[in-house]
Amino acid sequence: MSRAWLIGAGPGDVELMTLKATRALGEADVVLVDDLVNPDVLQFARTDAEVVYVGKRGGQPSASQADIVATMLAHLRAGRSVARLKGGDPFVFGRGGEEQQALRAEGIQVEIINGITAGIAAPAAIGIPVTHRDHAQGVVFVTGHGAGSSEPDWNALVATRMTLVVYMGMRRLNEIVTALLQAGMDPQTPCAAIESATRPEQRHVLAQLDTLAGHVASAGLGSPAIVVIGGVSAHGIPSASHDR
């Protein structure tokens, strides 16, 4: 059986991809790529590697998880080495754990190559530390994509008084803000929303919690984006406009 890798491509800036990731990418016969991966990363792949685009972007057409695993298995059983290339880190909201589990169930060992997750890189790109002794003793990464029974427990999260870093939350930002306010979070809590972090097209806004959704809408920010909620956001570098 050939080798398999789950590779984190980082938040977008090619220079933030690890040396280990570039080495493994250069060894793979087949590369399965998510939409959020910067296409420039593929410069590290072999020129004769087969590149398969599988989507995996919120609200956009994507291959099913079962189809992705089936494709990986087909190539591996044919004697090809396979790199599964994901934006950020494969184990942070990247379904890497599910893919590892599926491959291991078929007797295939997978090498995990971490990437810098957007939940750290995006805030840092505008000067926000996710922890700070004066503001937060910890940070919680949470998906904003939940609904129904999978909805995050916003009351519990507010009670932690830690920095909240929200992935995939832009489409439900109004609902998330409302839930946090109802859970007792201070309406004046500093917040930030960062779109396309570390890329040339990066944009962001800074605002307090109760006006965040309005400023995001006014600036026209969309996905992919990270939302940071907590006192650490006060350290954010103001953008040219829209920040309050």
Pairing state between β 111-113 and 4-8 = parallel
| 56 is an active site residue | yes
| 34 is an active site residue | yes
Q: Catalytic residue among 17, 72, 162, 168, which?
A: 168
Residue (of 102, 106, 75, 69) closest to 3 by Cα position: 75
76, 166, 171, 207 from 175: Cα distances, Å: 43, 13, 9, 16
CB atoms within 10 A of CB 61: 7
- Measured CA to CA, the distance from residue 48 to residue 39 in angstroms comes to 16
Q: Catalytic residue among 34, 89, 170, 185, which?
A: 34
Residue (of 41, 38, 37, 30) closest to 5 by Cα position: 30
Rama region for 48: left / alpha / beta (φ>0; ψ in -120 to 50; rest): alpha
| 162 is an active site residue | no
- Measured CA to CA, the distance from residue 75 to residue 78 in angstroms comes to 5
Q: Catalytic residue among 13, 17, 29, 56, which?
A: 56
- Measured CA to CA, the distance from residue 23 to residue 46 in angstroms comes to 10
Catalytic amino acids?
34, 56, 168
